[in-house]
């Protein structure tokens, strides 16, 4: 049996030792006064069961090894207007393909650290090296191309210097980790100059790939106004398109430039399409380790047994409390009146001047429903005492 405590064992002892001491002390005093000892024994068992539950006991089963990729991966994403050209999977923006491929890379290299670099008119380190892949995917989900009105042309090698700095810093801080580079773009060189070279990063790159997006026929590009409206360049099928000579401007893939970048980095090139999964290189074997990541046992948890004991004892306590409350209410309830008892009495004393010659009497009259007897009805003034029958 093994234990996986929720808190440090010494902290649990510090929390539960005073509670156990109080329960034992009160139970001893209760026994001296004749109180039921079983009640306090059950309460002590409840406290101990809570302690065992927080220790999380379990039975270890078979063990499975987990893969850890001790690799730093740098992602370079083209965010020029052409990245939302609509020729991915029919008429979808190319950026959708980039997001899908990045997700495949994240799934392929568990435990790796990722950095995100974007480039259009300038190169920016959007996210430094981190294992937080959720933040990486969130950054890509909100990624948008540069504002169309501010575009002055771009170079496919603009991020070369920033990539070299990022890889150099990673090698200096973690020399035992390997480094991989993935480039995502269409290869269009629109600033009229010669692309910068990535050859300086080749010695720091152990593996990676260059992914190309687009078709020879090209795809139209939406305007990006920098807002969140229909013309924000989100590739949602709404908004206006960039115009060139009275027609929609078309972005066409340049695989020659992309292959040149792959050769400079010493990695492979792939033309990406929606109907095929990316071919990802294996992480360097020197940093892909099973032993260093440890083993995770398939533990059968047993804390639920202690939890069940606590639930049963709590049920006993609640049942006993309910009985005591019911008994107390019975003791406080008023006793019912005896059957046949009079509901009230009245004492009537009178000295009626009209009843001449009748003795003054004081008596108790029983108040009851129904008409009063005629003998007790007072005489009506002006009415003879005895009425004839009219004969």
Whether residue 201 lies inside any domain: the answer is yes
For residue 286, is pLDDT > 60? no
Same domain flag for 123 and 264: yes
Whether 161 and 268 map to the same domain: the answer is yes
Greater pLDDT, 40 or 297:
40
One domain for residues 77 and 14 = no
Which is higher by pLDDT, 174 or 363?
A: 174
Q: Are 123 and 39 found together in one domain?
A: no
Please check whether residues 203 and 304 belong to one and the same domain.
Answer: no
* pLDDT value at 120 more than 50: yes
Verify that 138 and 37 share a domain, yes or no: no
344 is a domain residue: no
Longest Cα–Cα distance in the chain = 150
Domain assignment of residue 302, given as a range: 2-62+297-329
Q: Choose one of 329, 351, 376: the last residue of a domain.
A: 329
pTM above threshold 0.75: no
With contact defined as beta carbons under 8 Å apart, do 281 and 209 qualify? yes
d(CA 69, CA 333): 75
Q: State the Cα–Cα distance between residues 224 and 228, nearest whole angstrom.
A: 9
Q: Residue 346: which pLDDT band, with cuts at 50, 70 and 90?
A: very low
Q: Are residues 156 and 213 in the same domain?
A: yes
Q: Where are the alpha helices (DSSP H) in the chain?
A: 9-32, 37-55, 94-108, 133-141, 160-173, 255-265, 303-332
pLDDT category, 195, cuts 50, 70, 90?
Answer: very high
Classify residue 345: in a domain, yes or no: no
Same domain, 78 and 19: no
Chosen domain end from 233, 267, 293 = 293
The candidate with the shortest Cα–Cα distance to 67, out of 131, 104, 110, 108, is 110
Radius of gyration of the chain (CA): 46
Q: Is residue 180 domain-shared with residue 249, that is, in the same domain?
A: yes
Q: Is residue 129 part of a domain?
A: yes
- Residue at which a domain ends, from 243, 269, 293: 293
pLDDT at 67: 58
Does residue 362 belong to any structural domain of this protein? no
What angle do helix axes 303-332 and 37-55 make, rounded to 10 degrees?
150
Number of domains in the chain: 2
Query: Which residues, in sequence order, are CB contacts of 111 under 8 Å at separation 6+?
Result: 67, 68, 69, 70, 131, 293
Q: Region 13-17: what's the mean pLDDT?
A: 90
- Same domain for 26 and 52, yes or no, is yes
Q: Is residue 385 part of a domain?
A: no
Q: pLDDT of 240-254, one tens digit each?
A: 888 888 889 899 999
Alpha carbon distance 273, 385 (integer Å) = 126
- Portion of the chain with pLDDT greater than 90, in percent: 44
Q: Which long-range contacts (CB under 8 A, 24 or more apart) does 278-283 make?
A: 278/101, 278/104, 278/105, 278/209, 278/211, 279/209, 280/104, 280/105, 280/108, 280/209, 281/180, 281/207, 281/208, 281/209, 282/207, 283/69, 283/71, 283/109, 283/112, 283/178, 283/180, 283/207
Q: Is residue 13 a part of any domain in this protein?
A: yes
Task: Please indicate, yes or no, whether residues 53 and 38 belong to a single structural domain of this protein.
Answer: yes
Does 366 have pLDDT greater than 50? Answer: no
Within a domain: 234: yes
* Statement: residue 365 has pLDDT above 90: no
* 178 lies in the same domain as 264: yes
Q: What tokens does 83 get? A: 């990245």
Answer whether 114's CB lies under 8 Å from 75's CB. Answer: yes
Residue 146 burial (CB < 10 Å; 0-12/13-18/19+)? buried
**75-84, 291-300, 305-314: segment of lowest average pLDDT:** 291-300
| CATH number for the domain harbouring residue 218 | 3.40.50.410
């Amino acid at each position: 049996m093994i234990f996986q405590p929720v808190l440090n064992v010494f902290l649990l002892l510090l929390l539960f030792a005073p509670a156990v001491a109080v329960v034992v002390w009160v139970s001893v005093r209760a026994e001296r006064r004749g109180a039921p000892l079983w009640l306090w024994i059950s309460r002590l068992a409840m406290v101990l069961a809570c302690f065992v539950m927080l220790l999380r006991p379990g039975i270890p089963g078979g063990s499975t090894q987990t893969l850890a990729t001790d690799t730093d991966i740098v992602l370079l994403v083209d965010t020029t207007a052409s990245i939302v050209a609509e020729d991915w999977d029919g008429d979808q923006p190319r950026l959708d393909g980039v997001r899908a491929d990045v997700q495949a890379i994240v799934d392929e290299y568990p435990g790796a650290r990722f950095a995100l670099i974007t480039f259009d008119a300038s190169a920016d380190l959007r996210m430094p090296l981190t294992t937080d892949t959720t933040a990486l995917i969130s950054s890509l989900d909100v990624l948008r191309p540069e504002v169309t009105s501010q575009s002055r042309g771009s170079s496919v090698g603009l991020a070369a210097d920033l990539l070299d700095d990022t890889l150099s810093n990673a090698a200096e801080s973690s020399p035992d980790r390997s480094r991989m580079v993935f480039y995502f773009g269409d290869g269009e060189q629109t600033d009229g100059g010669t692309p910068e070279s990535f050859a300086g990063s080749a010695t720091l790159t152990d593996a990676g790939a260059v992914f190309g997006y687009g078709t020879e026929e090209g795809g139209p590009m939406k305007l990006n106004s920098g807002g969140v409206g229909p013309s924000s360049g989100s590739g949602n099928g709404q908004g206006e398109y960039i115009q060139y000579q009275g027609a929609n401007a078309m972005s066409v893939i340049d695989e020659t430039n992309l292959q040149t970048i792959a050769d400079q980095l010493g990695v492979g090139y792939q033309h990406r399409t929606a109907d095929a999964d990316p071919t990802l290189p294996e992480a360097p074997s020197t940093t892909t380790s099973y032993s260093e990541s440890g083993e995770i046992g398939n533990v059968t948890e047993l804390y639920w047994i202690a939890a069940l004991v606590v639930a049963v004892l709590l049920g006993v306590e609640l049942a006993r409390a309910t009985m005591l409350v019911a008994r107390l209410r019975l003791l406080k309830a008023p006793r019912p009146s005896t059957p046949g008892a009079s509901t009230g009495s009245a004492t009537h004393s009178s000295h009626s001047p009209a009843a001449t010659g009748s003795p003054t009497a004081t008596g108790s009259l029983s108040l009851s429903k129904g008409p009063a007897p005629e003998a007790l009805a007072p005489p009506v003034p002006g009415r003879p005492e005895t009425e004839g029958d009219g004969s």
